């Protein structure tokens, strides 16, 4: 079952429904890897057809380490998606990546463990050794950056996303280590999503929305969940105009 889909969007924390979708239909997909995070919602936006999936479920019931990333990516691919934008809530490590900043990262370091990281984990499936030197699709990254510029929204080009296990936030020592490793951002959902997209030969890029400074990187002694979601709401409001420009280009 395939549909004409111009773009698939995976919503992270704070983005459980895509605003402005019209003529919507819901699709529950049976996958070989179990259930996806929820129904894929298709609709018209900016004159194009998009598919939207809430990564954590529409009621945020799935913690990062329990998301069925394989099912999610397989479902979007099965429905006809060929370009995917992952919206990820992150913490900022680099000084210029403070709350409400929007970043289009270009690299990943994976600190997660115990997740199903490949479609090759199933017995009898051909083993693929994907080239993951550049984890995000360069052309889609550039299209996102150009769309943000046309929309008049400031985004940061490049940065290394460090993917941690969650759902807890990190210690100061862990963030200090990640900073030494070269990470600019920290999040819990960037992997294995990006690698699975590559295995399916999907174009994939990330819009990282900074909700807070990571532990030890800001002035706050303690990270407030209330403040995180306030910052996240402000950054999330910038997503639809960026994607509208992307779809019109």
For the annotated binding site for phosphate, the residues are 13, 55-56, 189
Return d(Cα 194, Cα 190) in angstroms, integer. Answer: 6
- How wide is the angle at C-alpha 36 spanned by C-alphas 35 and 37, nearest 5°? 120
In a 3-state reduction of DSSP, which class is residue 37? coil
The binding site comprises 13, 55-56, 188-189, 212-214
Nearest to 83 by CA among 205, 180, 217: 205
The binding site for substrate comprises 188, 212-214
Q: Which residues contact 56 (CB under 8 A, 6 or more apart)?
A: 12, 13, 16, 37, 62, 63, 64, 67
Total count of residues recorded for the chain: 249
């Amino acid at each position: 079952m395939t549909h004409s889909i111009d773009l698939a969007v995976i919503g992270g924390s704070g983005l459980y429904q895509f605003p402005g979708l019209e003529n919507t239909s819901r699709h529950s997909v049976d996958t070989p890897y179990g259930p996806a995070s929820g129904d894929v919602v298709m609709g018209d936006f900016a004159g194009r057809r998009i598919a939207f999936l809430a990564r954590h479920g529409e009621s945020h019931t799935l913690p990062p380490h329990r998301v069925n990333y394989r099912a999610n990516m397989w479902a979007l691919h099965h429905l006809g998606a060929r370009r995917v934008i992952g919206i990820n809530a992150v913490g900022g490590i680099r000084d210029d990546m403070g709350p409400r900043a929007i970043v289009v990262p270009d690299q990943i370091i994976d600190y997660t463990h115990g997740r199903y990281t490949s479609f090759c984990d199933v017995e009898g499936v051909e083993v693929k050794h994907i080239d993951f030197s550049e984890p995000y699709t360069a052309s889609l990254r550039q299209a996102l950056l150009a769309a943000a510029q046309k929309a008049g929204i400031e985004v940061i080009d490049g940065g290394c996303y460090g993917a941690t296990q969650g759902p807890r936030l990190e210690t100061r020592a862990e963030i200090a280590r990640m900073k030494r490793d070269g990470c600019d951002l920290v999040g819990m959902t960037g992997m294995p999503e990006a690698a699975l997209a590559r295995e399916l030969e999907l174009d994939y890029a990330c819009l990282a929305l900074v909700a807070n400074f990571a532990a030890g990187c800001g002035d706050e002694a303690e990270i407030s969940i209330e403040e995180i979601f306030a910052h996240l709401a402000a950054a999330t409001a910038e997503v639809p105009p960026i994607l509208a420009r992307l779809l019109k280009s």
